[in-house]
Chains A and B, each alone.
Chain A
Amino acid sequence: MRPFLNETGRIIAAFAFILVLFFAGCGNEKSEEIKGEENAILTDAPYVPPPITRDYPTKVIVNLEVKEVVSRLADGVTYNKWTFGGKVPGKFIRVREGDLVEFHLHNHPGSTMLHNIDLHAVTGPGGGAESSNTAPGHTSVFSFKVLNPGLYVYHCATPPVGLHIANGMYGLILVEPKEGLPRVDREYYVMQSEFYTQGNFGDPGLQMFDMQKAVDENPSYVVFNGEVGSLLGDRALKAGVGQTVRLFIGDGGPNLVSSFHLIGEIFDEVHMQGGSLVTQKNVGTTLIPAGGTSILQFKLEVPGTYTLVDHSYFRAQSKGCVGKLVVEGAENKTIYSGKQSDEIYLGSTEKEEGNIQQAAPGGNIPVGNEPVSGKQGGATPMDAKSLMATGQQVFAQNCVSCHQTNGQGIPNVFPPLAKSDFLMADKERSIRIAMHGLTGPVTVNGKTYNNTMPQLSLTDQQIAAVVSYIRNSFGNKGDMVSVEEVKRVRGK
């Protein structure tokens, strides 16, 4: 093989190459000197500060106020949350690798407690905690250089740490790599966490922390962004077909690991545990450690509603860990057809089928209701306004997943309650269904549905409220249902 350069030429080339490297190295060093200063833009979930466009590090001043606030945990339920910035989760902080962060931690004068902050992005003892112990009505200042790019949890580390976290003291800090992150169309901030309340899920009023439940790791609530419904209805995340979305997601804990899943989508790229590498492509469910993070990226091809859940499913079903991503745009039937047909299927032996039918719910399972109805004897009758309010809550907790937010049902699967002739034709029948469930074919507004509604364990008062509510919502107009009517139906 003929040499590309002669001996001398090669030596000169090598020397020149080394020189180039040397100067390039110097250049890099120089561009990584701290230049200027700026105030950090901080955002509340689900929003994220804009991407960093600087190609040099700067001094970033972060002002974060710790505040203890009583705020919504679910409909009719409040909790005294301890917050970084007034909400749970805390403000999202976005800086660049090499930045010098000057952190001002303010503890509101009305706080009960001493607080501090441990940012997992900090290199140094306690992650800042030891330098940021701050009494009510005081401000602590400390500085740190962010050496490692990645997405990190921050939290209060005042003992007992678990309690401060359980009360809501966590958030995320993103350290962008020098070269920045690839541009995407949408970025969102979601954080999962638990609340340990003395009441059960849905019990109304101001709820107090329950130490034993926390120790047993048995939360009453598992939520996204600090409350039930933070990503539902008008507050759902939004994106369009063809757009690429990046989720900065964290798990505040204090106890549970999240098996995070987005129903109907596949994560094209996962930065496992929020590190700087794409560690895996094409992931369905990804793990997020307590006190850890993940960066998830996916492109949306098909319009519709996608559901965020912790796939430890009873947390989604019964503890509030559900959110929605609504995607608008043109259908693409080649990727996803929608339902193409629905036909009768008899299975292999009709006899077995019959046995299964008999065991199905709707049968005789009255046990759970008895003591409750006894207690109701003394309850004062509710007026129409409180019937409607309670009914709405019962609906939101028990009915909405099948009959949908506006009672529209799901075509061919779950019948509508909205303007439903079946519902309005027979009040007693509606009470019976809310009491015992329903199995088998029904015709609603001219369409036949054949499915199973399980028996719900509702009290008589809850049944009166929810039937009153659905008979007077979604375009329906009817009279109210009293507890006495419900009792009469139960007696039959």
Chain B
Amino acid sequence: MKVIYVVFALLITASNVMTAKDNKDQFSHQKSSMVLVKGGRYIPFWKDDKSLVPVKVKPFYMDAFPVTNAEFLKFVKANPAWQRSKVKRIFAGSTYLRHWKDDLELGPGATPNSPVTNVSWFAAKAYAEWKGKRLPTVAEWEFVALPGAKSSLRDKMLNQKILEWYLTPKPQRAGTVGVGKPDRFGIYDMHGLVFEWVDDFNGIIAGGLGGDGNESGLFCGSGVVNSSDPANYAAFLRFAFRNGLKADYALYDLGFRCAKDAN
């Protein structure tokens, strides 16, 4: 089964993907590949000023998989300031990489090919910059994550599946990346493994990054008024989750993937 997905992923890589930086073996090549997303129109799910007009998403590259523990280990080896014992507290809370055995050892709590979690937004951003990439925006992430507009029945089923994932207790150790089916772009694991950081994770609300960004109409029921799709419970949960984050948080079910401009 897995072989089929790997082959499928490689087919996609062949057509869409930029050259990966370190492609010493087939596996790491596949895991670090990016997919071209041609862009299009995205109707924001939620805005406080009711300007729910479609925004244009320019073409961009998106990582086909979430960043794994093994990949993040390479990053902290090359950048000691981001090792668990050395990181500045304002950039990552005390739970930063707590599932790792040590600064430079994953140990039994962190499978190499599982998404890295317990990482702060600052750390995720630093990783992306080190890779010559950036974090995706909310619009880019949601553009990929939301079901396509073609079949409303399929949307409904996908939303229900996403919702069920949110409502199921999470294992403390996330599963392996790339095991499930890719979405219509050829991108894996947008749902089902971990939540993911985005660049402007609480930029949609008034307070903005670092402030007490929670003073927002998204909460207390009034969010319903300003949503483009009040029936999308899954999206509400995801936006609420994002909106409660602060940039130094390191949570057990929150990882990230990178993006890059297409030109």
Contact = CB atoms under 8 A, between A and B. Distances in A.
B47 to A, nearest CB: 14
Given A159-B219, A163-B237, A109 B164 contact: no
A112 B17 CA distance: 33
Contact of B220 (A110, A118, A134, A208): A118
A130 B167 contact: no
B167 A133 contact: no
Contact of B237 (A110, A134, A137, A160): A160
A211 B233 contact: yes
Contacts, number: 97
B219 A116 contact: yes
Nearest to B46: A159
Interface in A109-144: 109-110, 112-114, 116, 118, 125-127, 129-131, 133-138
Interface string B223-259: 1100000010100110111011110010111000000
B251 A136 contact: yes
Interface string B59-71: 0000000000000
Contacts of B211: none
A130 B163 contact: no
Contacts of A167: 167
B241 A130 contact: no
Contacts of A134: 244
Q: B interface, by DSSP: helix, strand, loop or mixed?
A: loop
Contact of A209 (B95, B163, B169): B163
A48 B180 CA distance: 48
B152 interface: no
Given A137-B95, A167-B167, A159 B240 contact: yes
A171 B216 CA distance: 24
B97 to A, nearest CB: 14
B191 to A, nearest CB: 13
B221 A133 contact: no
Interface of B: 95, 160, 163-164, 166-170, 172, 214-216, 218-221, 223-224, 231, 233, 236-237, 239-241, 243-246, 249, 251-253
Given A113-B241, A114-B241, 8 more contacts: A109-B95, A118-B220, A129-B219, A130-B214, A157-B220, A158-B244, A163-B237, A209-B164
13 contacts: A68-B169, A112-B167, A112-B170, A113-B237, A130-B220, A133-B219, A135-B241, A135-B246, A160-B223, A160-B224, A163-B236, A209-B164, A215-B231
